[in-house]
Amino acid sequence: GAVVSQHPSRVICKSGTSVKIECRSLDFQATTMFWYRQFPKQSLMLMATSNEGSKATYEQGVEKDKFLINHASLTLSTLTVTSAHPEDSSFYICSARGRRGNTDTQYFGPGTRLTVL
């Protein structure tokens, strides 16, 4: 079964609104969360890395004020797309890393498809 979930799976919003995407690790504590973005027919690009309780580290070219990442607990990270615009329409995928039993493990979430009208 899934060990990392994302909510919502799909969201459509109007331009200028903010959208929050949740990423949860279901049966392990995720000390690190990664957020990726995938544009249509393109590959995944890392946006940012967040460690629980710390500020996220953003990749070059990613606006930290536009893509707010919160990793307040060991099972939940959120990505908020602020003042979304049509060019932010994309597939957002999280990846959670932590220990599951005695094993260092990492899983991808199923993704959230954001469409900004």
CA geometry: angle 98, 99, 103, nearest 5 deg: 130
Of 32, 70, 80, 82, which one interacts with other proteins (CB under 8 A)? 32
Q: Does residue 73 contact residue 51 with C-beta atoms inside 8 Å?
A: no
Of 12, 26, 46, 117, which one interacts with other proteins (CB under 8 A)? 46
Q: Shortest approach of other proteins to residue 20 CB, angstroms? A: 19
35 forms part of the interface with other proteins (CB under 8 A): no
42 forms part of the interface with other proteins (CB under 8 A): yes
Q: How many C-beta neighbours within 10 Å does residue 80 have?
A: 15
Residue for token digits 């903010």? Answer: 18
109 forms part of the interface with other proteins (CB under 8 A): yes
